[in-house]
């Protein structure tokens, strides 16, 4: 559908990075954009810059989201809010698991529950779930993150089945490494973090992800762009490693008495 067929958009995780870039892009298209994030001051600056309507709300605050979605019929839903605590699962703590499930998966499920039925009833809408290549590929140290992003991937597929016959489009965006401040949020605000993840690399910008989302939304009504992987040209997933055993294997004969 052209942007002219949509009027309202809800963007979570909107205070910085990809979320802020999406708010800017959709605002330029003439949509009434509602920007949701925890940080009030960056949201205020974003509102002044773009004209978006700011909501300083945590996505785990189900009551606040229900109030917002109950009074506004959203044509576009951008589930972007996300957190990470990189750890191997052998080192995971209950707080880590709960946080990632609550923000990265549970909030997405509930927002879709609140918004998608209205889209189906109006026969018009577009859900954009910003997931990650971590939902499709494995790499060390992010076990819970992989699990919740895989859940978002399956939800994205399932939404199209559940709204079959309606003009509700669903797009899963799976970024690889993007030049945003997420690495400082996850690993600490230290110059060495930028050097490790950003400086010297050729990376997509947040605006590139926003442009890809705009491309999916602007496609003709007969076109659903279901899945996009967006990675640096110089990033690749996969590889082969083989480890040597740390201890000798037990004898197949067992211990004789």
Residues catalogued as catalytic? 145
Classify 126 as helix, strand or coil: strand
Contact 230, 208 (CB under 8 A): yes
Q: Cα-atom radius of gyration of the chain, to the nearest Å? A: 20
Reported as type and span, the H/E element at residue 77 is strand 76-79
Run of H or E residues at 35: strand 32-37
Between the two ends of the chain, the Cα-to-Cα distance in Å is: 76
CA atoms of 162 and 130, how far apart (whole Å): 19
């Amino acid at each position: 559908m052209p942007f002219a067929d949509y009027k309202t958009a809800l963007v979570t995780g909107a205070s910085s990075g990809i979320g802020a870039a999406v708010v800017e892009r959709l605002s330029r298209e003439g949509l009434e954009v509602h920007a949701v994030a925890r940080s009030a001051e960056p949201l205020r600056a974003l509102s002044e810059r773009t004209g978006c309507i700011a909501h300083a709300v945590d996505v785990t605050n189900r009551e606040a989201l229900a109030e917002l979605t109950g009074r506004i019929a959203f044509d576009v839903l951008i589930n972007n809010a996300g957190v990470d605590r990189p750890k191997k699962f052998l080192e995971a703590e209950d707080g880590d698991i709960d946080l990632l499930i609550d923000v990265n998966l549970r909030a997405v499920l509930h927002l879709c529950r609140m918004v998608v039925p209205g889209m189906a009833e109006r026969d018009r809408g577009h859900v954009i779930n910003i997931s990650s290549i971590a939902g499709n590929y494995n790499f060390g140290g992010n076990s819970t993150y992989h699990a919740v992003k895989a859940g978002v991937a399956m939800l994205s597929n399932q939404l199209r089945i559940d709204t079959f016959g309606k003009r509700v489009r669903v797009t899963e965006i799976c970024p690889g490494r993007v030049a945003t401040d997420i690495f400082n949020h996850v690993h600490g605000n230290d110059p060495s973090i930028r050097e490790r993840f950003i400086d010297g690399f050729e990376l997509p910008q947040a605006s590139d992800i926003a442009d890809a989302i705009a491309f999916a939304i602007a496609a003709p009504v007969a076109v659903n762009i279901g899945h996009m992987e967006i990675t640096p040209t110089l990033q690749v997933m996969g590889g082969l490693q083989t480890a040597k055993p740390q201890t000798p294997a037990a004898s197949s004969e067992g211990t004789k008495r």
